[in-house]
Amino acid sequence: MKTASRPVAIITGAARGIGLAAVGRFVEAGYDIVAVDLPGAPFEDLPTLTEGGPSIETVNGDVSSDQDWARVISVCRDRFGRLDVLFNNAGIEGALGSMLDYPLAEFDRVMAINVRGVFLGMRHAVELMRETGGGSIINNASNMGVKGSANIIGYSASKHAVVGLTRSAAIELAPTIRVNAVCPSPTNTRMMWDMHDRVAADTTDDEFERAFTATTPMGRFAEADEIAEAALFLAGSGASFITGAILPVDGGNTAG
Ligand SMILES: NC(=O)c1ccc[n+]([C@@H]2O[C@H](COP(=O)([O-])OP(=O)(O)OC[C@H]3O[C@@H](n4cnc5c(N)ncnc54)[C@H](O)[C@@H]3O)[C@@H](O)[C@H]2O)c1
C-alpha cells in the first residue's frame, strides 16, 4: 500500500453521464480516482491523463452488492492508501408508468441500486476515510427526491430515501465526515433520452425537453458538468461547514 499525496475520490456510475463528468472535474481538480461501474461498462470515455498527474483506477462492480463494495474499498486502499471523497452517483430510473402496474421486481431493483447502493457505499467508506483524517460523501439524489411525480414512483421513492440516508448519516458521521446530497432536475444524459425513447418517441427532442422543463424557471435540462461541479464544491474545503445539506441543482425547479 502507498499513501497518495493527492486527495482520492471514489465515483460510482463513472462510465457515463454525470459520473463520467465528475471524473473529469475531479481529475482537473487534482484528485486520484477510483471509477466504479457495472461489468462491461464502457470505461473508454474516461479522460486522458497526463504524466505525473492524477491517475484513475477502474473497478467493475455493482453498487447494490456488499462484496463488490468491499472490493472497491480494498482497491482504493491498496492503490492509493487513503479516501477523501465518495460520490455515490450510480442510479437507475427503473420502470415508467402507473403505480398500479409497477412491476414488483423492478421496484426491488430500483431500491437495491438507488438506496441499498448508497447505504452500502457510505458504510464501506467510513473506516478508510476515518483512518486518513475524515472525508466528504456526496449522494446523488434528484428533484424527484424532494417532490412527487406521477408514473415514476419507484425512482421517486428511492430518491426520497437517498435524502433520508444523507441527513441521518450526516448526523451520525459528524464532525469527521460530511455527508450531503445533490438534487439535479432532468439532466442531458442517457437517462433522460432513454425516457424519451420509452414514453415519448413521437415527440421531437425539443418538445420533450420543453415538456420536462415547463416548471423549471431556467427552462432547460441541466448539463452533466453542472452537477459534477456542485459535487466538487461539496467535496472540497469550500464546503467545510456544510453537512446534511440537500442541494438543488435544478434551475429553480423546486423553488416554487
Ligand atoms: N439524468 C437525469 O435527468 C438525472 C436527474 C436527477 C438525478 N439523476 C441521478 O444522477 C445519477 C447518474 O445519472 P445519469 O443521468 O448520469 O445516468 P446514466 O444512465 O447516464 O449513467 C449512470 C451510470 O451508472 C451505472 N450504473 C447503473 N447501475 C449500476 C450499478 N448497480 N452499479 C454500478 N454502476 C451502475 C451505469 O452503468 C451508468 O454508467 C443517478 O443516480 C440518477 O438517478 C439523474
> Angle at the Cα of 82 (from 73 to 177), degrees rounded to 5?
85
Dmax (CA) for the chain in angstroms is 55
In the block, residue with C-alpha cell 427552462 = 219
Cα 89 to averaged position of ligand 1 atoms, centre (Å): 6
In the block, residue with C-alpha cell 424532494 = 146
In this structure, the residue with its CA closest to atom 7 of ligand 1 is 142
The values of phi and psi at residue 234, to 5°, are: -65, -30
Cα 67 to averaged position of ligand 1 atoms, centre (Å): 21
Cα 2 to averaged position of ligand 1 atoms, centre (Å): 31
- Tell which one of 191, 221, 227 to mutate to probe ligand 1, the residue whose CB is within 8 A of the most ligand atoms: 191
- Tell which one of 11, 18, 20 to mutate to probe ligand 1, the residue whose CB is within 8 A of the most ligand atoms: 18
Q: Which amino acid is at 246?
A: I
Q: Any catalytic annotation for residue 102?
A: no
Atom of ligand 1 nearest to the CA of 93: 43
- Asked whether 228 and 132 are in contact (CB, 8 A), the reply is no
Cα 136 to averaged position of ligand 1 atoms, centre (Å): 20
Bridge partners, residue 10, by sequence = 34, 86
The values of phi and psi at residue 227, to 5°, are: -75, -40
Atom of ligand 1 nearest to the CA of 186: 3
Q: Which CATH class is domain 8-186+223-249?
A: alpha beta
Output the ligand 1 site: residues, CB below 6 A. 12-13, 15-19, 36-38, 41, 62-64, 89-92, 113, 117, 140, 142, 184, 186-187, 189-192
List the chain domain ranges. Answer: 8-186+223-249
The rounded distance, in Å, linking the Cα atoms of 136 and 127 is 13
Cα 101 to averaged position of ligand 1 atoms, centre (Å): 24
The pLDDT profile of the chain, 256 residues, written as one tens digit per residue, is: 556 689 999 999 999 999 999 999 999 999 999 999 999 999 999 999 999 999 999 999 999 999 999 999 999 999 999 999 999 999 999 999 999 999 999 999 999 999 999 999 999 999 999 999 999 999 999 999 999 999 999 999 999 999 999 999 999 999 999 999 999 999 999 999 999 999 999 999 999 999 999 999 999 999 999 999 999 999 999 999 999 999 999 999 999 9
Q: Which of 210, 153, 211, 220 is nearest to 185 (CA)?
A: 220
pLDDT at residue 167 in the model: 99
Q: Which of 31, 107, 155, 212 is catalytic?
A: 155
- Tell which one of 34, 36, 38, 116 to mutate to probe ligand 1, the residue whose CB is within 8 A of the most ligand atoms: 38
The rounded distance, in Å, linking the Cα atoms of 160 and 202 is 31
Q: Residue 92 contacts by C-beta under 8 Å, 6 or more apart in sequence? A: 109, 110, 113, 114, 155
The set of cell numbers assigned to 45 is 470515455
